[in-house]
Amino acid sequence: MATSPEPAPAGEVGLFDAVVNLCKRRGFVFPSAEIYGGIRSTYDYGPLGALMLRNIREAWWRAMIQERDDVVPIDAAILTNPKVWEASGHLATFTDPLVDCRNCKERWRADQIEDTCPKCGSKDLTDARPFNLMFKTFVGPVEDASAVAYLRPETAQGMFVNFVNVATTTRRKPPFGIAQLGRAFRNEITPGNFVFRTREFEMMELEFFVPPADSPRWQQYWCEERLSWYVRYGIAPEKLRLRPHDKEELSHYSSGTTDVEFQFPWGWGELEGIANRTDFDLRAHQERSGTSLEYFDQATGERYVPHVVEPAAGATRTMMAFLLAAYDEDEIGGERRAVLRLHPRIAPYQVAVLPLSKKETLTPLARDVLHRLQRRLMCEYDETQSIGRRYRRQDEIGTPYCVTVDFDSLEDQQVTVRERDTTDQTRIPIEELVGYLLARLDA
């Protein structure tokens, strides 16, 4: 999770503020429980944020599961037997070094500050001590040691403990993967930078099980695949890089990790880690549970514990990167506009249907167009204010296409499709509209 302290390009700090402001103003992200003053660094995803997150999940699912024949999904529980976290090493080692400022009582991650409190400037800091990042809770009504459980800090373990179940029921042999997305929880000491680091977030993880000797090759393969996924969905290649971890950065389970990094306004930051987890987890669970997690290859008579290559991404952090990469300001007809140049599959809405006027004569046709589109695409319907203002509103939330229904449409059964980035307008027969737009989603 390290963030290298390279300076941001000029003007980029303004970009962060512009995107955070847009997120709140237009309903992508709200501070959680805002009417009670919120809860530090916890966010709720509003209507546009919920749609966009869903699109990010789907884009990941499409690339990692649907378009492949060697990956299957699961959806494991968030609460699980605490022995899982003993075996995985999370109870003993999933810690950050914590220091207290004796002067202002603020707490910091020792590896993120020099020997001075960033809040009050005091040098009177405690020694660093390990702080476990897992959220603890109790299962059932009795709050004693036997009832302790943890909210998962990664989705990965649900895939390791189900390795044999999945391999057997799907008749898979390595190389094959198990993929999962869902919420994860970490009691971060210093959450911040909006949704970049939060205590509750969403992960998208693949555990790819391979014969031991093949793991370096597969790690290289997944680094390239994952980097190209971000480009496919709209981030410019020069805003992305692969960065191998130094030895001292490696997680306790990893023999080597390479991060996909994005150039955030404050410097390069991790979007995803692609780790070689070796046989660390399967072996640990095998030893702790007494259940064999070996794979037996009937063709060769070989028996081995597979090694695992893990591309692990954050959906909520990725959403922030997509927003930062897409935000732009330009001038249309002498008027300034803010525009989110989001990929059509990532944008909250793919289409907005805009009747030119609220007049009753137009409404039935406009709603008919809406209903045709809604079966295949996420649409917004807006009939308030001038058409120019409505275009601006859609540009600002990234809607790639606006469909305008006007009085000529009643005569010629055609509508105007306006494209967000170029503002070009094309007249299209209503009968051809769905096909026309679908063809452009992945163009």
Q: Distance (Å, rounded) from C-alpha 298 to C-alpha 27? A: 55
Asked whether 207 and 279 are in contact (CB, 8 A), the reply is: no
Least distance in angstroms from the C-beta of 185 to ligand GAP: 9
48 binds ligand GAP per the rule CB under 6 A: no
Work out whether strand 43-45 and strand 148-150 pair parallel, antiparallel, or are unpaired. unpaired
Least distance in angstroms from the C-beta of 15 to ligand GAP: 19
The nearer residue to ligand GAP, 258 or 316, going by C-beta atoms, is 316
Least distance in angstroms from the C-beta of 65 to ligand GAP: 18
Out of 28, 41, 117, 205, name the contact with ligand GAP by CB under 6 A.
205
Work out whether strand 351-355 and strand 401-405 pair parallel, antiparallel, or are unpaired. parallel
Q: Distance (Å, rounded) from C-alpha 150 to C-alpha 79? A: 6
Site for ligand GAP in 274-313 (CB under 6 A): 310, 312-313
Out of 317, 343, 390, 418, name the contact with ligand GAP by CB under 6 A.
317
Least distance in angstroms from the C-beta of 202 to ligand GAP: 8
Site for ligand GAP in 120-179 (CB under 6 A): 154, 156
Least distance in angstroms from the C-beta of 411 to ligand GAP: 52
Least distance in angstroms from the C-beta of 277 to ligand GAP: 8
Which amino acid, 8?
A
Out of 201, 218, 280, 327, name the contact with ligand GAP by CB under 6 A.
201
186 binds ligand GAP per the rule CB under 6 A: yes
The nearer residue to ligand GAP, 271 or 365, going by C-beta atoms, is 271
Site for ligand GAP in 323-342 (CB under 6 A): none
Q: Distance (Å, rounded) from C-alpha 209 to C-alpha 218? A: 10
**From 22-30, 169-177, 266-274, 279-287, span contacting ligand GAP (CB under 6 A):** 266-274
Out of 198, 215, 219, 394, name the contact with ligand GAP by CB under 6 A.
198
DSSP 132-150: E-PPEEESSS--SGGGEEE
Closest CA to 320 of 192, 152, 153, 135: 192
Q: What is the DSSP letter of 155?
A: S
For ligand GAP (CB under 6 A), the number of binding residues is 20
**From 4-12, 95-103, 265-273, 431-439, span contacting ligand GAP (CB under 6 A):** 265-273
Q: Distance (Å, rounded) from C-alpha 303 to C-alpha 294? A: 6
**Residue appearing with tokens 């605490």:** 82
CB burial of residue 180 (10 Å; 0-12, 13-18, 19+):
buried
What is the CA 351 to chain-centroid distance, rounded?
A: 23
1 binds ligand GAP per the rule CB under 6 A: yes
188 binds ligand GAP per the rule CB under 6 A: yes
Out of 158, 177, 234, 273, name the contact with ligand GAP by CB under 6 A.
273
Instruction: State residue 292 phi and psi, 5-degree precision.
Output: -70, 130
Asked whether 287 and 330 are in contact (CB, 8 A), the reply is: no
Asked whether 261 and 243 are in contact (CB, 8 A), the reply is: yes
Which amino acid, 239?
K
**From 141-149, 217-225, 268-276, 326-334, span contacting ligand GAP (CB under 6 A):** 268-276
Q: Is the dihedral of CA 316, 322, 324, 326 positive or negative?
A: negative
Least distance in angstroms from the C-beta of 270 to ligand GAP: 5
**From 16-24, 32-40, 68-76, 193-201, span contacting ligand GAP (CB under 6 A):** 193-201
314 binds ligand GAP per the rule CB under 6 A: yes
343 binds ligand GAP per the rule CB under 6 A: no
Work out whether strand 307-314 and strand 267-278 pair parallel, antiparallel, or are unpaired. antiparallel
Per the document, the length of the chain is 443
Out of 15, 101, 117, 203, name the contact with ligand GAP by CB under 6 A.
203
H or E element that contains 395: helix 387-396
At residue 82's C-alpha, the angle toward residues 80 and 88, to 5°, is 100
**Residue appearing with tokens 């969905």:** 233
Least distance in angstroms from the C-beta of 323 to ligand GAP: 14
**From 97-105, 119-127, 271-279, 297-305, span contacting ligand GAP (CB under 6 A):** 271-279
Residue nearest to ligand GAP (CB): 314
Least distance in angstroms from the C-beta of 268 to ligand GAP: 13
Closest CA to 42 of 187, 154, 153: 187
Instruction: Note the residues at the interface with ligand GAP (CB under 6 A).
Output: 1, 154, 156, 186, 188, 197-198, 201, 203, 205, 270-273, 310, 312-314, 316-317
